[in-house]
Structure 1
Amino acid sequence: MKKNFYGYKRAASALLAFVMLAGLLTACGGSKKGGEAALSEYVYVPQYTSIPKEITDISNPYLYGDTIYFSANMPVHADGTPATQEEVDAMYGGYSKYEGATSSTTIKAAAAGTITTTAEAVNQPVPEETTASDITYKNFLYSMKKDGTGFQKLADYTPKAVSSGNNEDSYASFDRLIVDEQGNLWVSESVSKTIYNLPEGFDEKTGDKWQYYAGEDRQSFIRKLSNTGAELGSVDLSQYVETPEDTEEKYRGSFYINGMVADKAGNVYISDGSSTVYVLGPDASFLFKITVDGWLSSLMLIKDGTVGVTTNAKDAGSDGSYSMTLKMIDVSTKTWGKDYTVPNNVYNTSDGGDKYDFCYLDGSSLFGYDLATSTHEKILTWLNCDIDSNNIRFSTVQEDGNVFAISQDYSDSGNNAFEIITLTKTPRSEVKSKTTLTLATMWLDYNLKKQLLKFNKTNTDFRIEITDYSEFNTDDDYNAGITKLNTEIISGNIPDIIDISNLPYKQYAAKGLLEDLYPYIESDSELSRDDLTPGIIKAIEIDSKLYTLISGYNVMSIIGASSLVGTEMGWTMDEMQDIINAHPEADCPFGQYMTRDTILQYLCMLNMEKYMNWQTGECSFNSDDFKKMLTFAKSFPEKYDDQDGRNWVDPSTLVQDGRQLFDIFNTGDFQTYQYYKAMFGGEITFKGFPSDSKGGSVAMISGGLAMTTSCQSKDAAWKFVRTLLSEEYQENLNWGYPISQKAFDKMLAEAMKQEYTTDENGNKVPVSNGGMSMGDGLVVDFYAITQAEADQIKALIDSVDHTAVYDESLTSIITEESAFFFSGEKTADQVADIIQSRMTIYINEQR
């Protein structure tokens, strides 16, 4: 009776209840073999089970029959009684409001002073430091039924004991838990010691014991337990570990358990995640170990009850890729058995039920794999089941074909919503239907997933299902997903909505595939064009039309010390070259490792829109400006021999030594600016990327949505697309400046707000809000930016008039042909003419 899933993490939830989504029945289906878009006959309907509120941590869950076993690291008092969450919160302190404090003053409990966000620090009384708590964390084992009932602690389980002395600190950790076919539990626990050679009379209160650090010692125990937790057998696996001869003495014998599974005969397999698998018999006796010339990845139980492990080759093949092999383990011969070549994305694996040899998670979907036919089948896409794949901690396909999972939702408030999910395979005809819109994507970010889930759960008439085209990428062709999407579009299978991240949306607009969104904004009672940052929106317009709604952006520019490059923004290629020529000591003007191909790709990506137009098909790659760019790139080295970075020098040192003149600045915040000011030793100027127009700073858009002209319900699609401009979305971007002017202004106001604390002498001291460094070089603490700094950043943003374009097909043409100029086989004029010809043909073919 095998039912398991691999993984670990904790989870928490509310009251015990078994619930279904009433009135909003959700279903999701897989697709036919190979990922074809045809709807399947069956869909998966989710049922949700909440976890008892006393469960505040779940790790290493394992499903055996209808019982879930798991470990938990729980807070307890010295007498063994459980500690409440309120007691734990009190132990760690927190931020509280105290009487007498103004509304703008926040005081940290037990802090030595005040922290304010006002212009002046306000002295407030500080609470007395609380006495030490008797609360500690200990590992326990628990079980409960799949429906959330029957929660109990395994009464006979006792964690491995640890002891500490004056010369050592010891601690125990719980690593893995599995259940064998006979219902016995197997756990791996580690006892680690940090050893010191302390001098006689050492006082820990006044001395630093780490000055006398001597080494580490680690034991790894594999224990066989009954279903009540009583020990039935144990072995210290560390005695069988061999460490390389060149390993430092203090690290010898260290061992990390990467995976553990049991076969149908009760043998247990343990992987160290490096190159060795250890095998124990059903009685916990050591049988043998087996190594591989490569790197171990996932240890997995196959449908027939045997065990194998995926391995990555140490060296790349002739095509540059690293192949993955599933190597079966033959217990009878104590050697490797049959090998299978499997996809390189087989990492997060689980049981495959009766249908599949194993399952694996890949991005947003769950796949089943058949070894006999070397084929995979998409079972479901989590998001299309209204489940965020980022929250899935454990999943397995059961023998009846249903999918069992545990989900943990990390809320913004810090409370974890934790659920058991059973996805029941159901005939599509039995599920209440909604009108389904399709969304094509290469990658969906966290915030957009949240909005999609919210839309699908609240809209009674429409739902949106995604197709993640990145799933079609291969090691041989990283653009296979885009090719697949473009092929489907040509054949008339056009999605309703397109996530334009990593997709050529301007090419789609030129084909007439995208809807102008300005009319939707203008007819929306809650939105206006004035809500959006004007310069950036202008940069993404095409012929005064808005074909994509973006959420945020970064700005890229070339920067340098104002004393060197002047204070005015913008320059030509000649002006930049003149500065370089005037400083022959600058052997790496843009920093280390900038080769001719790298600088050319940068310049092309950030200036591509100046040389081509998707709407008209016109190109200007034979212009003097482009030829100067080729000549400039040729002045850089072909390659750097320092591949391992051992000769890396911090940029601030290169600048101080006169070896580096400029840097490529890329930011979506207000703090990074302070690092570069320190790096260049004073005021800096955003010069932009050189061009005859001197308008070279560009925007890099960080995700956005476009609606297709063939969308089956444009009003419904707009209801979803517009969520990118909601206050919640704009104020919680993962990175970049928000496109909403209101959210941008709020972000800027926060960056200009300085916090202060008072030191022991009553002096007001500014509080750093972070910092930045590169390697072991310059370290810069960030503080509130000044009005002058804010004005300079806003001027940079206002200067942007185009966006960065990275299209591998376009870049490849330039790279291929420029190589003939770099080698001296052709002149710049000849290469520019060839690039002009090839680009013109390609662009007009794609329009």
Structure 2
Amino acid sequence: MSNKMFRTKRIVALALAGMMCFQMTGCGKSDSKKKKEKIDQYSVVSQGEINHTLSAIRVEDGELYGSYYDLDTSADGPGAEGSNTGLIRYNLETKETKEVKADEDVYMNTVLKDNDGNYIAKGSVSIDTDSEYNDNGEKSDTYSYYDVTYKYDKDFNLIDKVKGDMVTVNINDDGGEDSSVAQEYTDDGELVELCVSAEKSEYYLKITDKEGNEKGKIESDGDQSFEALLKLPDGEMLVSTWGEDKDAFYKIDLENLKVGEKVFDMPGYDANQYSEGKDNTLICAAEGYVYRINYKDNKSTKIIKLLDSDINPDSVQAVYELSDGTIGCIVSEDSDTTGIYTFEKQDSNKSGKTEIKLGVLYLDSDLQERVIKFNKTNDKYRIVTVEYYDDKEEDYSNVISRFNSDIASGNCPDIIDFSSMEGYLERYDEKGLLEDLTPYFNKEEDIKLDKLVQSVVNAYKINGKLYVLPQCFTLSGWFGATDTVGKDIHWTLDDFINLTKSLPDGVEMIKDLTSDSLLSMCTTQLDRYINWETGDCRFNSDEFVKLLEFSGNYKSSDEFYKNYDDSEYVDESTLIRQNKLILQNAFLTGVDDYMVAKAIFGKDISFKGAPVDDGNGVIVSGSGSLLAISSKSKNKDVAWEFIKQFYIPEDSEEGKFSSYAFGFPIIQSELDKKLEDAKTPDTYTDENGNEQVSENVWTIGDVEVKVGVASDDDIKAIKDIINSIDGRNSYDIKIGEMITEEAEAFFKGQKTAKEVADIIQSRISMYVKENK
């Protein structure tokens, strides 16, 4: 019996790892012991490749089938002129391939088999979508499309083709027709479709009987959203949901048109492409593993760790199991190739290589690729990953406890990723647990420390030692009109308070400012208040007391958002244009961010750091992996060989910067080039062969803003901001919670600001002492 599944796309927050750090550090003590599942070691054997990029694929009865597209980079996308699209099937046992080319302008969305073994392919054709702008540079407000359904027999002979009506959609309004994004045939010949409403952008189920008449619809209950369809080997039809509760598959009651009882929980948020396994089980890939699912008992078991088999989990399109028990996977190799692999069980560390442990909270795709590359090219050493975060862990303090325990013990990973744990660097420095990377950088000609951006290098030094360094960096602060906030980057807390008090009614300093957010933004750089080496704290200083007193003029976040009306929301740019807002939050990742802010204000702007009495308050944060070497590692030079690849310049043949590392490059020459290039406008060749300057138009709020090309003065201003960096983001959610909890007594008039500051000083001093 066939087993098929199509998963709709879901947006996953990119800041997951950062959020984990903030949540976990706020938890109390608990048992850190957790029994690990024993997973056998597998290698992979290539079974060939398909010279296409595959989409909408399914695996059933030993056959892979779906649609393909080979994108011509000169064209505008799948279905555009120059792109090759069609249907394909591949026998996973005999390796026999058969394909049929589709109409040139069609992009296939879904493919499935009906109960007679015919292939049903649904596609769409977009009209006049060559560019969002026409030849005159005017933005198009509409696009048109029509759907088309093909029916092919078992030999890919075309049986029928049905073209839908043309639909025109205004991009500024909700519109168009409902779309069918997944389909399954029941054993009785009824068609179950997962559809998305064009009006509400919500998913629902539509059931059509075998005569083609609509039988009815099933709406989700609001708390849980429909996500995917799955037909079990016994013919039972299921729908998955996600929302506040755990992702799971439920029975579809086709007679009463409702969702029935839960059948099994999904093994991970990214689980997709379920295939039939042996002994009434399913197999799928999720969260870096191949899982076997006993759906009758609702039990999922990890059987293969993909990365240990040198397979990037993010490239896996599907896994499958053949009749002889062989497990394999289908992997997107590059822009026009799909690899077919099978797994071969082996003895533990059969390769004989020395293992180098890499400890991470969360393993991103780029880091996975670099681990695979290292393992494939190094004949003596092998990187093995240890992931501390598990989304099934209800108490995040257990994750941090395991992380801290391993680093402090003989079980410490050789390499540690601090990209979500920057706030812990000072305490590890005090304990001598990390290796100073200064001599390692300085032995590399291309990335010696004097060739890197010095302000960032200095910001990441702790007591003169450098334990981690980002590949790229971003800056946090505020933008304001120079004629209002002044030209200097630095300002004191008194400057900030005095300007705020001088504002007329109806004008905000910072949008939606609350008492706790004001305290938080001024204590993001904890090294200004805490000396982890000595344990000294200064939360009872005059500066902090003054900050606490001024924060009392604002509502707490809970009070502010209690009766908050989203319908009354006005974005920052609109308030700035209306002269109702002084500062715009600045997350500076490149020249464009500065130029967009300048266009919004419509005048000269200044970048302002956090208001502090000493220094500039300009906060730098790293992007991408942030790797350190354990001082206890027996293979420090090998660990460095892995780490140094993250800093190789973009124009080097050896590699590139991490795709997860956005922002300004850490290498000074790369930064200089990027800033210089920003002074040259983009151009295009018009229909007469003449070179024209492209307009840089951004949609900010509900207004289009034309952004100019950076001038020498603009680039100088950005360089001045970078050179003014004097601290990095070192926030600790536990300390933030202590400040917020105790400040409440002052806000309610129960204690003076000085009394509260003394209590905060005492509590945090105790916390620092316990965690030194």
Do they fold alike, i.e. is TM over 0.5? yes
The amino acid that maps onto 1:556 is S
Separation in 1, partners of 2:247, 2:164: 27
Q: 1:175 is matched with which residue?
A: 109
1:60 aligns with 2:56: yes
Instruction: Return the offset for 1:841.
Output: 1.9
The reply to whether residue 724 of structure 1 matches residue 646 of structure 2 is yes
> 1:267-286, aligned counterparts within 5 Å?
268-272=191-195, 274=202, 276-279=204-207
Return closer, same or farther for 1:141/1:353 CA change in 2, 3 Å cut-off: same
Partners of 2:75 and 2:290 lie apart in 1 by: 41
- Work out the CA distance in 1 between the residues paired with 2:94 and 2:670: 42
Tell me the amino acid that sits aligned with residue 531 of structure 1. Answer: K
Per the TM alignment, residue 286 of structure 1 is displaced from its structure 2 partner at its CA by: 6.5
Matched with 1:46 is 44
Indicate if the aligned counterparts of 1:677 and 1:683 stay in contact, CA closer than 8 A: yes
Give the counterpart of 2:634 among 712, 717, 722: 712
Q: CA–CA distance in 2 between the matches of 1:502 and 1:520?
A: 23
Q: AA paired with 2:44?
A: P
Q: Answer whether contact 1:596 1:635 (CA < 8 A) is retained.
A: yes
Matched-pair contact (CA < 8 Å) for 1:650–1:778: no
> Which residue does 1:682 correspond to in 2?
603
SS in 2 for 1:178: strand
**Counterpart among 241, 256, 262 of residue 311 in structure 1:** 241
Percent identical among aligned pairs is 25
Classify the secondary structure of the residue corresponding to 1:443.
Answer: coil
Bigger radius of gyration, 1 or 2? 1
**2:130 — aligned with what?**
none
Residue matched to 1:30: none
* 2:546 pairs with 1:628: yes
| Separation of aligned partners in 2, 1:554 and 1:193 | 38
> What are structure 2's unaligned runs of at least 5 residues?
10-32, 128-134, 166-172, 197-201
1:383 paired to 2:304: no
Could you say if the C-alpha distance between residues 229 and 647 of structure 1 is closer, same or farther in structure 2, counting changes exceeding 3 Å?
same
Residue 152 (structure 1) aligned with residue 75 (structure 2): no
Take 1:428 and 1:651, find their aligned partners in 2: how far apart are those partners? 59
Of stretches 331-340 and 671-680 in structure 1, the one that deviates more from structure 2 is 331-340
In structure 2, relative to structure 1, the CA distance for the partners of 1:340 and 1:627 (3 Å cut) is: farther
Contact 1:5 1:394 in 2 (8 A): no
Paired residues for 1:336-485 under 5 Å = 336-340=259-263, 342=265, 345-349=268-272, 350-351=274-275, 353-354=277-278, 357-371=281-295, 374-398=298-322, 401-410=325-334, 416-428=335-347, 431-472=350-391, 474=393, 477=395, 481-485=399-403
> 1:32-91, CA deviations, whole angstroms, 9 ceiling, x for partnerless residues?
xx9855653x222212244354xx4432222233332222458xxxxxxxxxx9xx6788
The separation in 2 between residues aligned to 1:819 and 1:236, in whole angstroms, is 65
Counterpart amino acid of residue 763 in structure 2: R
Q: CA deviation at 1:803?
A: 0.5
Tell me the alpha carbon deviations over residues 367-405 of structure 1, each in whole angstroms, 9 at most, x when there is no partner. 444445544333333333222223222333555554432
Contact 1:568 1:685 in 2 (8 A): yes
User: What's the CA shift string for 1:606-665, capped at 9, x where partnerless?
Assistant: x32211133332221121212222223332344157856433334344334432122332
Q: Is the 8 A contact 1:817 1:831 kept in 2?
A: yes
* Cα pair 1:60 1:176 within 8 Å, conserved: yes
Shift of 1:732: 6.0
TM-score computed with the length of structure 1 as normaliser: 0.74
Matches of 2:704 and 2:217, distance apart in 1: 48
Q: Is 1:5–1:63's contact at 8 Å kept on the other side of the alignment?
A: no
**Separation in 1 of the partners of 2:648 and 2:75?**
38
CA distance 1:580–1:278, shift in 2 (3 Å): closer
Matched letter for residue 595 of structure 1: T
Contact 2:58 2:65 in 1 (8 A): yes
**Hey, what's the Cα distance between the residues in 1 that align with 2:577 and 2:206?**
54
**Match of residue 122 from structure 2:** 189
Equivalent position of 1:552 in the other structure: 472
Report deviation, 1:519.
2.5
**Which one has the bigger strand percentage?**
2
In 1, distance between residues paired with 2:518 and 2:510?
Answer: 9
Offset of residue 780 of structure 1: 3.3
* Structure-1 residue corresponding to 2:587: 666
Q: From the superposition, tell whether residues 229 and 190 of structure 1 become closer, same or farther in structure 2 (CA, over 3 Å).
A: same
1:141 is matched with which residue: 70, 75, 87?
87
Confirm whether residue 511 of structure 1 aligns to residue 431 of structure 2. Answer: yes
For residue 675 of structure 1, report the CA deviation from its aligned partner. 2.1
Query: Does 1:604 find its partner at 2:537?
Result: no
SS state at 1:277 partner: strand
Partner of 1:463, secondary structure, is strand
Q: 1:376 to 1:685 in 2, by over 3 A?
A: same
The aligned residue for residue 293 of structure 1 is 221
Cα distance in 2 for partners of 1:495, 1:560 equals: 45
2:59–2:275 contact (8 Å) kept in structure 1? no
Aligned pair in 2 of structure 1 residues 397, 515: CA closer, same or farther (>3 Å)?
A: farther
Aligned to 1:779: 705
Q: Does 1:326 align with 2:249?
A: yes
SS at match of 1:779: strand
**Shift of residue 689, structure 1, vs aligned partner:** 0.7
**Shift in Å, 1:692:** 1.5
Kept after mapping to 1: 8 A contact 2:269/2:286: yes
Cα RMSD (Å): 4.3
Task: Name the structure 2 match of 1:102.
Answer: none
Q: Does 1:568 align with 2:491?
A: no
CA contact (8 A) 2:285 2:318 kept: no
Taking the aligned partners of 1:89 and 1:704, their CA distance within structure 2 comes to 33
SS at match of 1:590: coil
Deviations 1:138-187 (Å, cap 9, x if unpaired)?
A: 864332322684322369xx98x9xxxxxxxxx9764322346x771452
Alpha carbons 1:7, 1:61 under 8 Å: kept: no
Amino acid corresponding to residue 111 of structure 2 in structure 1:
L
Q: Does 1:655 align with 2:576?
A: yes
- When residues 355 and 441 of structure 1 are mapped into structure 2, their CA distance, relative to the original with a 3 A threshold, is farther
The separation in 1 between residues aligned to 2:600 and 2:144, in whole angstroms, is 40
* Aligned counterparts of 1:789 and 1:70: Cα–Cα separation in 2: 51
C-alpha separation in 2, matches of 1:640 and 1:531: 47
CA–CA distance in structure 2, aligned partners of residues 758 and 333 of structure 1: 60
Matches of 1:306 and 1:134 in 2, distance apart? 39
Q: 3-state DSSP class of the match of 2:370?
A: helix
- SS of equivalent to 1:58: strand
Contact kept, 8 Å, 2:50 with 2:338, in 1: the verdict is: no
- Three-state SS of the structure 1 residue aligned to 2:330 is strand
CA 1:674 to 1:834, structure 2 compared with 1: closer, same or farther past 3 Å? Answer: same
Task: Summarize deviations over 1:406-430 as a string: whole Å, max 9, x none.
Answer: 22244xxxxx242333232413259
Q: Give the alignment partner of residue 836 of structure 1, picking from 761, 764, 771.
A: 761
Give the counterpart of 1:587 among 496, 502, 507: 507
Letter of the 2:316 partner, please give it.
I
Distance in 1, Cα, partners of 2:689 & 2:339: 53
Instruction: Give the Å deviation of 1:461.
Output: 0.9
Residues 472 and 484 in structure 1, CA contact (< 8 A), matched pair in contact too:
no
The alpha-carbon distance between structure 1 residues 186 and 589, as it changes in their structure 2 partners (threshold 3 A), is same
- Alignment match, 1:752: 679
Whole-angstrom CA distance in 2 between matches of 1:660 and 1:667: 19
How far 1:782 sits from its partner (Å)? 3.9
Which deviates the most, 275-284 or 511-520?
275-284
Q: State how far apart, in whole Å, the 2-side matches of 1:759 and 1:430 are.
A: 59
Structure 1 residues 150 and 401: alpha-carbon distance in aligned structure 2, compared to 1, 3 A threshold: closer
Measured in 1, the distance between the counterparts of 2:147 and 2:690 equals 51
Q: Retained in 1: the 8 A contact 2:311–2:372?
A: yes
Looking at structure 1, the residues matched to 325 and 554 of structure 2 have their Cα atoms a distance apart, in angstroms, of: 59
Alignment partners' CA distance in 1, 2:687 and 2:666: 43
Mark the CA change 1:228 to 1:495 in structure 2 (over 3 Å): closer, same or farther: same
Return the offset for 1:299. 1.7
